Chains A and B, each alone.
Chain A
Amino acid sequence: DVKVTQSSRYLVKRTGEKVFLECVQDMDHENMFWYRQDPGLGLRLIYFSYDVKMKEKGDIPEGYSVSREKKERFSLILESASTNQTSMYLCASSSEHGTLGGYTFGSGTRLTIV
């Protein structure tokens, strides 16, 4: 069964900490994405990557960075966590050879910044 795995289901961090969210996919997909889901706002794209070491800003990149050193792994970094970054974070991947827009999502990481 193909998978996108997010390292933590729940995470609590302190304001000002540097936070790493990890995502791994086992489908050899070229494209990977980080979204956050907030009530009333839906899913908003933070960053995406269409190749190793490549990254593109999404709609809300401020306060975040990403790293993609290997094809299967895409990391989201909160440089200095703030309470407004409390959210559900969803990682997704897709193949340029698969269904157009057919993302496979991970189960999400619920991050709380205190």
Chain B
Amino acid sequence: GQQLNQSPQSMFIQEGEDVSMNCTSSSIFNTWLWYKQEPGEGPVLLIALYKAGELTSNGRLTAQFGITRKDSFLNISASIPSDVGIYFCAGQGSGGYQKVTFGTGTKLQVIP
């Protein structure tokens, strides 16, 4: 089946630093999504991407849909303590409704 691998698995960064994480797939996706999960809660959608090469921002977050359609990247600029959480990428294929597959997650910890 489809697999989405995220890297790094976890990271510790200093407040104010920029963060980069990525997601790679064994399959092509038509839609890429990035979610954030905080402790004790469900994932919350951050950004949705629909076109190869697309670059989309949401505040300090910027995500890109890779041109091969098999990868996506998320950057967080000037990290703050509330950025702590697990970041998941997710992909959806084409052809009618295709179920959304989630990546393995990147756990982010921010040191004040």
> A and B: real partners?
no
Binding site for B on A (CB under 8 A): none
Query: Which residues does B use to contact A, with CB under 8 Å?
Result: none
